[in-house]
Structure formats: structure tokens, C-alpha cells
């Protein structure tokens, strides 16, 4: 077990298991759902809030109040806080603390990717529990080469934190890079292999995760990505407004479906600013995902030799 010293608002030292263990526990207890906190101008306006730091703070803390005690993972998008300058970053610091104080995991969506000392600085900012911006996990971009992320990967392992590395995204431009091949291996496949190597000692979920869009259709199969063998937790953005449906997850992720953390944002946030409506929206989507995962698991178990219903 990696021991991670973390401080809550009162300064009390806490110890945690590795990120993969904590994520699995959260998914079992609260369901396999991640909700983004994306305070972009259109949503602030829809909530009747001004597009300034006051509106940002009201929006973000309402999300924490509604969701952090009931959802496995909350994912603040750093850019929407950074656009408000230093005061916006201060709100982000408070949001990260509030998420974790309520028992959810904080996944900071920063998609950083750099080299050398710069990557080390990003790792210190986001993965060191002593940092005011420290989170349980971050998103990373590997397209300067998977090993360029090594300072962040090592920091995550050291601190019991997690990373989610972009592998196969559902934006139309992504295929140009992610499907490209060097010899027989696609770029996406090389990312999955890098994650698999970092998770080699994990008995269940590792600390190195993958970002694979819920709407990539047959991309996982076409590129022959061994998601289950990677032992990676899989962040699957694109649920809801972007076209992803819970009932389609099994077709995208196959046997790795139990390791999928479905991610949604607009379908939940559109229910605000009511705390109860936000919570109900997240619970409805989370229940749909849970049912889809359980149904796919039941089908898979029934197909095993010796199981009832096998052929």
C-alpha cells in the first residue's frame, strides 16, 4: 500500500490507499459516474449568474453542495476557472478541497503535456498533496510521447494519486493523430501499452488511467486496444449531450466495461441552479450507467462455460 499524506481543511493528516483502490471503492459505493464542473459562460448565464468571479464561485460551490457527497468523482475543468485569473484559481483551490472533504474524488481536468522540468512543475502543482491545487488525479496529454509524462507518472505513483492519459478521443480531429501508425502500432495503442506497463503490479485497477471517448464507436476494436489487460481505469467522456448513451458502453468497451468511469457534464449541469435538481439528474444518469454495466456483466457471465445460459 502506498501511504499518502493528505490534509483536509482542518489540517488533519489522512492516509489513503493507492488511487486505483480508492477509485474502485468509490465506484462500488456511489456508482461509476464522473460529473464535470464546467462553469462556461453559457451555463453561468443559464443559471442567472454573472460571468465573473462571483458567478463562478456560486456555480462551483453549488455543484459541490449538490454532488460531492453522492457522486464518485467530480471533475473541475481548470480552464473555466483560470479564465478569471488569480481569483478564479483561488475558487478552484476551494472547490478541490470541498470535493474531497465531502468524500468524492477530485479529478482535475488540465490535459497537461510537456517535457522535463516543465512537466515536473505541473506534477508538483497538481499531484503533490502539499499543493493547494493538489487533486486525487489529473488528465494528461501524451502526444509529445508517453515517456514525456514520466515526471507526472512518477509523482502520481509516489503520492498515491492517479492520472488519466488521453488515448482515443471522440473529437473528429483526434483520429489524425491517435489512429496514426508507427509500423504496426497505432499511437493510441502505444499509449495503452505505456499505461499497461505502469500498471503491471496492480491487482485490480492501477493508478494510470486512460481517456477514451464514449462515442468512439468501433475504434477500440479497430485499433485492437487491450483495455482490460492494461488494468486501467477508463474515463469515458461524451455521455449525454455529446451523444454517448449508457446502453452503448458495452459495445465500445467490451470486457473492460467494469473499469469504465462514465463522464457527463452538460446533462447534469443543465438542471441547475437547484441543488436537488442537480443531484437528481446525476443520480438518474448514474443509475442508467449502473444498470447498463450490470446488464452487460450478466450477459458476459452467462456466456462463460459452466454458467447458466452458456452455449
Q: Which residue ranges make up each domain of the chain?
A: 16-295
CATH architecture of the domain with range 16-295 = Alpha-Beta Barrel (3.20)
Show pLDDT as tens, one digit a residue, over the chain (311 residues).
333 333 333 333 233 459 999 999 999 999 999 999 999 999 999 999 999 999 999 999 999 999 999 999 999 999 999 999 999 999 999 999 999 999 999 999 999 999 999 999 999 999 999 999 999 999 999 999 999 999 999 999 999 999 999 999 989 899 999 999 988 999 999 999 999 999 999 999 999 999 999 999 899 999 999 999 999 999 999 876 677 788 899 999 999 999 999 999 999 999 999 999 999 999 999 999 999 888 887 776 665 454 433 32
Q: Contact at 8 Å (CB) between 148 and 117? A: no
Helix (H, G, I), strand (E, B), or coil: what is residue 76? strand
| Closest to 164 in 3D by CA, of 129, 128, 207 | 207
Q: Which three cell numbers stand for residue 83?
A: 479564465
3-class DSSP assignment, residue 110: strand
Distances (CA, A) of 92 to 54, 57, 265: 13, 9, 17
Catalytic residues: 111
Residue 157 to residues 2, 27, 46, 62, 245, Cα–Cα distance (Å): 8, 21, 40, 32, 33
- Main-chain dihedrals φ then ψ at residue 236, nearest 5 degrees: -115, 85
Amino acid at each position: 500500500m502506498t501511504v499518502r499524506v493528505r490534509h483536509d481543511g482542518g489540517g488533519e493528516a489522512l492516509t489513503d490507499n493507492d488511487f486505483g483502490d480508492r477509485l474502485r471503492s468509490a465506484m462500488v459505493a456511489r456508482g461509476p459516474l464522473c460529473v464535470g464542473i464546467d462553469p462556461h459562460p453559457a451555463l453561468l448565464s443559464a443559471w442567472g449568474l454573472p460571468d465573473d468571479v462571483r458567478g463562478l464561485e456560486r456555480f462551483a460551490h453549488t455543484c459541490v453542495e449538490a454532488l460531492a457527497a453522492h457522486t464518485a468523482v467530480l471533475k473541475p475543468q481548470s480552464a473555466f476557472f483560470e479564465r478569471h485569473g488569480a481569483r478564479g484559481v483561488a475558487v478552484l483551490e476551494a472547490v478541490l478541497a470541498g470535493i474531497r472533504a465531502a468524500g468524492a474524488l477530485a479529478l482535475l481536468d488540465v490535459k497537461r503535456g510537456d517535457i522535463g522540468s516543465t512537466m515536473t512543475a505541473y506534477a508538483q502543482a497538481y499531484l503533490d498533496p502539499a499543493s493547494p491545487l493538489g487533486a486525487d488525479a489529473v488528465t494528461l496529454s501524451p502526444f509529445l510521447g508517453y515517456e514525456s509524462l514520466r515526471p507526472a507518472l512518477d509523482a502520481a505513483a509516489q503520492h498515491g494519486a492517479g492520472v488519466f492519459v488521453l488515448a482515443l478521443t471522440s473529437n473528429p480531429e483526434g483520429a489524425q493523430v491517435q489512429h496514426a501508425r508507427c509500423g504496426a502500432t497505432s499511437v493510441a495503442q502505444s499509449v495503452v501499452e505505456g499505461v499497461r506497463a505502469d500498471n503491471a503490479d496492480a491487482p485490480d485497477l492501477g493508478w494510470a488511467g486512460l481517456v477514451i471517448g464514449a462515442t468512439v464507436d468501433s475504434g477500440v476494436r479497430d485499433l485492437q486496444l487491450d483495455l482490460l489487460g492494461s488494468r486501467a481505469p477508463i474515463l469515458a467522456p461524451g455521455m449525454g449531450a455529446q451523444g454517448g448513451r449508457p446502453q452503448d458502453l458495452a459495445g465500445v468497451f467490451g470486457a473492460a466495461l467494469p473499469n469504465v468511469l462514465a463522464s457527463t457534464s452538460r446533462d447534469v449541469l443543465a438542471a441547475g441552479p437547484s441543488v436537488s435538481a442537480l443531484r437528481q439528474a446525476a443520480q438518474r444518469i448514474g443509475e442508467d450507467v449502473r444498470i447498463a454495466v450490470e446488464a452487460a456483466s450478466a450477459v458476459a457471465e452467462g456466456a462463460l462455460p459452466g454458467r447458466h445460459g452458456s452455449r
